[in-house]
């Protein structure tokens, strides 16, 4: 039997500009209310989102002015590269590694376009080897934290002895817009923040958890639930308000099927580590999986302190679980565009 893939280290990073939820509502009202008649009715989402503060790539004043796609792209490249370096460096330091020890880099980001991709842009700053394998991943959205970690584990397993670095960076705030504002934009403005996370993986080494399985389910005819539209001034969010209902109705059956392929059942899992897409989504996951109400405490706390950062958010939750003590068996899970649920099954290191 091959040795399992171990997560050697995990680290997170947040941009420096903090926005509390009351200020977010004030700015959104000043900027959007005049052109969106339903703003006052929709503004209740700022109170119900379960968020106290978020971190942003730019100072709040930057968002008060309309921004072109080139301006947003420049902001993405600058901030995403900085967060990549910060999260990756912390993960390497925690594992006692140098950038030159990395054989493969998996980079997941869906909130900006970078060609060359982010890991190529920071190679000089980080000190990666010239022969490092680069695997940039785009389009997975919120699910990319789990999917990317699973992909990194498969690449590590395919080349025992190699070291894989997984980094995910998302700058959701850069999609804030003034034109053609709809319900999804108000929800996104109340919900999303920016952040990054990184992990190092290797076969058979000491770490805090081993990866024993990965799985994904994509439901048919669900492309309109979550994603991006490309518009003249950048990326416009697609966000269906039915996501909590969909999760409550469909998540359990999919989870049962994915775990069954690993000869496991929901009752065998000591803790589900979930991407907190929003307060209502967390409630729906607890109902769907038959969990005690309030049991997803780390999820709610990450949402409270950082908002929904898309892909890194689930890894922020995993980091809090790690710090409080990994359960014997857990499942990291996230929902994202597709519409897809991705899972990584973990076992605490002995």
The token duo for 306 is 């950082």
Q: Is residue 40 classed exposed, middle or buried when 0-12, 13-18 and 19+ CB atoms within 10 A define those classes?
A: exposed
Q: Is 18 left (phi over 0), alpha (psi -120 to 50) or beta?
A: beta
For residues 193 and 67, what is the distance between their CA atoms, to the nearest angstrom?
Answer: 18
Question: What would the DSSP string read from start to end of 234-294?
Answer: EEEEEE-TTHHHHHHHHHHHHHHHHHHTTT--GGG-SEEEE----HHHHHHHHHHHTPPTT
CB atoms within 10 A of CB 1: 3
| Beta-bridge mates of residue 216 | 342
Residue of 81, 142, 172, 274 with catalytic role: 142
Active site residue 81: no
* CA-derived radius of gyration, the chain: 19
Active site residues: 142
């Amino acid at each position: 039997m091959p040795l399992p893939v171990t997560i050697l280290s995990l680290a997170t990073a947040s941009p420096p500009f903090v926005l509390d939820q009351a200020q977010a509502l004030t700015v959104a009202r000043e900027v959007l209310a005049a052109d969106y008649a339903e703003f006052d009715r929709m503004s209740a989402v700022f109170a119900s989102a379960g968020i106290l503060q978020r971190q942003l790539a730019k100072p709040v004043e930057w968002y008060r002015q309309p921004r072109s796609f080139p301006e947003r792209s420049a902001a993405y490249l600058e901030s995403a590269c900085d967060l990549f370096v910060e999260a990756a460096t912390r993960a390497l330091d925690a594992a006692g590694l140098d950038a030159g020890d990395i054989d493969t880099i998996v980079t997941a980001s869906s909130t900006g376009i970078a060609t060359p991709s982010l890991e190529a842009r920071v190679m000089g700053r980080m000190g990666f080897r010239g022969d490092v394998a680069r695997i940039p991943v785009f389009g997975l959205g919120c699910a990319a934290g789990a999917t990317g970690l699973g992909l990194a584990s498969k690449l590590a397993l395919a080349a025992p002895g190699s070291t894989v670095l997984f980094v995910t960076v998302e700058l959701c705030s850069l999609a804030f817009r003034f034109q053609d504002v709809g319900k999804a934009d108000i929800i996104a403005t109340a919900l999303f923040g920016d952040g990054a996370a990184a992990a190092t993986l290797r076969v058979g080494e000491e770490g805090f958890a081993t990866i024993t399985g990965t799985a994904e389910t994509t439901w048919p005819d669900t492309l309109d639930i979550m994603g991006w539209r490309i518009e003249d001034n950048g990326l416009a969010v697609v966000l269906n308000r039915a996501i909590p209902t969909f999760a409550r109705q469909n998540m359990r059956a999919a989870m049962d099927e994915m775990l069954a392929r690993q000869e496991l059942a929901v009752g065998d899992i000591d803790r589900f580590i979930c991407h907190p897409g929003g307060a209502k989504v967390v409630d729906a996951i607890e109902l769907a999986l038959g969990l005690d109400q309030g049991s997803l405490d780390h999820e709610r706390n990450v949402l409270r302190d950082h908002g929904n950062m898309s892909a890194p958010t689930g890894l922020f939750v995993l980091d809090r679980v790690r710090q409080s003590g990994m359960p014997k068996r857990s499942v990291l899970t996230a929902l994202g565009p597709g519409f897809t649920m991705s899972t990584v099954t973990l076992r605490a290191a002995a």
